[in-house]
Amino acid sequence: MDGIVNWWDYLSSRWDLVGATLMETIIYVVTVTVSAGVLAIVTGILTRNRPFAKEMSLAIASVFLTIPSLALFTIFIPLVGLGFAPSFIALFLYAILPILRNTVTGLDSVDPSVLESARGMGLTKSQVLLQVQLPLAWPVMLAGIRVAALLTVGISAIATLVAGGGLGDFIKSGLARLPLPNSLEAIWTGVILSLALAFTIDVLLRLLGRVTTPAGVR
Amino acid sequence: MTTVTAPLPTATTRKRRSLASWTSDQLDLIVTPVLALILLILLVVVWTYSTFDLTTERILEPSQLARQLWQQLYVAFFSTVIVVAVAIPIGILVTRESAPKVKDTLVSVLGLGQAIPAYGLIVLFFVWLGQGPTTVIIALATFALLPVLRNTIVGLEQVDTSVIEAGKGMGMTGVQRLARIELPLAVPVIMAGIRTATVINVGMATLAFLIGGGGLGETINAGLKLNRPTAIFIGAVLVALVALLFDFLGGLAQRYLRPKGV
């Protein structure tokens, strides 16, 4: 109990710092998820009728997830320097696969006879895509976006090692000051706020899923 | 979804079909070595053509790199053994028909677990258990357990239930069905679990340096601290190459070691 009280004291005596650091992680999550989402969804749509290109893009996206986080965060340093840039690039590369894979799965799982009927009803190809195929695939795509966002929360803690900020800052400073007072509290702050952020994102994206999924698909 | 009506094969679809027969798993076996080769060439070029100052030379001392590589593989091996020994039995237990209905909750909780920063986890284990390779092994095993368990559960779920029903109809007992039908069918899932655990652990072992556990992360960290981008780059490429190599070997094993007929 003492530990929790101490931690709360630690947290409440520095809301400014906590808020600013949390904001840095949120910025990573939003920019990475949106940019990787756009690239992955566009790729998924463009390659939906080209099996080889589709499998190739999946294979390329999946190879990035094999590369260890510290390596991917640091490999671009000679090119782009320290800070936000190398962290963003690494997180972006990691986030592509979950969204791309679910976009592909979602679009593929739409029954071809449904698409045929839509064509038969006189819809153009782009209308079929926008009004039939994408809405049907959306719940699966959104699940991929959720995975990408959660992944970004977890991995972005590494950004602090390349001076990229974010909640990892608390873990780094806590580790550096061990066993001085407030060091353990700092580490827990980094871990617990990451999990709290992940939980919030999870709930928000589930809500978004409810709101944006057409009634007929649910 | 209902039955899929295949279009009649025309010349173009037939050509497409042959390209379509490539799956991304098979392409992985090409893309991974190609990327590894590109990185290897970059490594050789950078190592040969850049002039190292004394500090960089010290960081990149080959005997030191060899020691770090050994440390990295050592912790990765033992944590992978632990993950596999824990995750697969639990995965099998919770997907039994007779098991309490905890699996869906478990899968979504484990999904959320992806957001746990590995960095924080390693540091917390350090606070709890102190310095040394054992701490690193336990921290890595805990971290990799979540995705491997999740994949095992999801994979076992996908085993065709009608086959199990057929086993029941033939009068097989629960144990017989598990041993003769479900486990052989689950071998690909288990192998995928071992591969995932290996790749995660080999990668995460890069963070072992944070708590004095050695590994190739030391080289990257020394480069960061002493502001030597060449050393950072070479360290990062080495780490990436090791991970790509293990992923490639895992992919080969998955492809060639599965039971006949599965």
Residue of chain B minimizing CA distance to A157 = B117
- Asked whether residue B52 carries a pLDDT value surpassing 50, the answer given is yes
pLDDT at res. A90: 96
Q: What is the pLDDT of residues B213-229, one digit of tens each?
A: 889 999 999 999 999 99
Question: How many CA atoms are closer than 13 Å to the CA of B112, on its beta-carbon side?
Answer: 18
- Asked whether residue A49 carries a pLDDT value surpassing 50, the answer given is yes
Q: Please give the residue that has the higher pLDDT: either B96 or A69.
A: A69
pLDDT at res. A23: 96
**Contact between B240 and A55 using a beta-carbon 8 Å cutoff:** no
Q: What is the pLDDT of residues B117-130, one digit of tens each?
A: 888 999 999 989 98
Dihedral in degrees, nearest 10, Cα atoms A208, A214, A218, B5: -130
- Tell me which chain B residues have a C-beta less than 8 angstroms from the C-beta of A178: 127
Establish if B83 belongs to a structural domain: yes
Establish if A218 belongs to a structural domain: no
Establish if B149 belongs to a structural domain: yes
Establish if A216 belongs to a structural domain: no
Q: Which amino acid is at B202?
A: V
Q: What is the pLDDT of residues A71-84, one digit of tens each?
A: 999 999 999 999 99
Enter the tokens of residue B49.
């053509």
- Tell me which chain B residues have a C-beta less than 8 angstroms from the C-beta of A164: none
For residue A66, the domain's CATH number is 1.10.3720.10
Mean pLDDT of the region A35-52: 95
d(CA A102, CA A145): 8
pLDDT at res. B6: 40
Residue of chain B minimizing CA distance to A47 = B20
Establish if B187 belongs to a structural domain: yes
Give the mean pLDDT of chain B: 84
pTM for this prediction: 0.87
Provide CB contacts within 8 A for B91, sequence distance 6+.
B149, B152, B153, B155, B156, B193
Establish if B238 belongs to a structural domain: yes
Establish if A126 belongs to a structural domain: yes
Establish if A48 belongs to a structural domain: yes
Establish if A111 belongs to a structural domain: yes
Establish if B11 belongs to a structural domain: no
For residue B117, the domain's CATH number is 1.10.3720.10
Establish if A59 belongs to a structural domain: yes
Establish if B127 belongs to a structural domain: yes
Mean pLDDT of the region B189-214: 89
- Tell me which chain B residues have a C-beta less than 8 angstroms from the C-beta of A151: 114-115
d(CA A20, CA A16): 6
Q: Could you tell me if A211 and A29 are in contact, meaning their C-beta atoms sit under 8 angstroms apart?
A: no
**Interface with B, mutate which of A67, A103, A105 (most B CBs under 10 A):** A67
pLDDT at res. B245: 93
Roughly how many angstroms between the first and final C-alpha of chain A, as a whole number?
A: 44
Give the mean pLDDT of chain A: 92
The ipTM estimated for the assembled molecules is 0.86
Q: What is the pLDDT of residues A141-162, one digit of tens each?
A: 999 999 999 999 999 999 999 9
**Interface with A, mutate which of B114, B226, B247 (most A CBs under 10 A):** B114
Q: Which amino acid is at B113?
A: G
pLDDT at res. B63: 93
d(CA B93, CA B167): 19
**Contact between B119 and A157 using a beta-carbon 8 Å cutoff:** yes
Count of Cβ atoms closer than 10 Å to residue A12 Cβ = 9
Domain containing B107 equals: 42-256
Establish if B235 belongs to a structural domain: yes
Establish if B89 belongs to a structural domain: yes
Minimal C-alpha gap between B184 and chain A (Å): 27
Establish if A217 belongs to a structural domain: no
Q: Could you tell me if A94 and A120 are in contact, meaning their C-beta atoms sit under 8 angstroms apart?
A: no
Enter the tokens of residue A136.
């049907």
Enter the tokens of residue B221.
């960290």
How many structural domains does chain A have?
1
Mean pLDDT of the region A122-130: 91
pLDDT at res. B261: 66
Domain containing A118 equals: 2-211
Establish if A101 belongs to a structural domain: yes
Q: What is the pLDDT of residues A166-199, one digit of tens each?
A: 999 999 999 998 888 888 899 999 999 999 999 9
How many structural domains does chain B have?
1
pLDDT at res. B19: 54
Q: What is the pLDDT of residues B147-163, one digit of tens each?
A: 888 888 888 887 777 88
Whether the bond into A179 is cis, omega within 30 of 0: yes
pLDDT at res. B106: 82
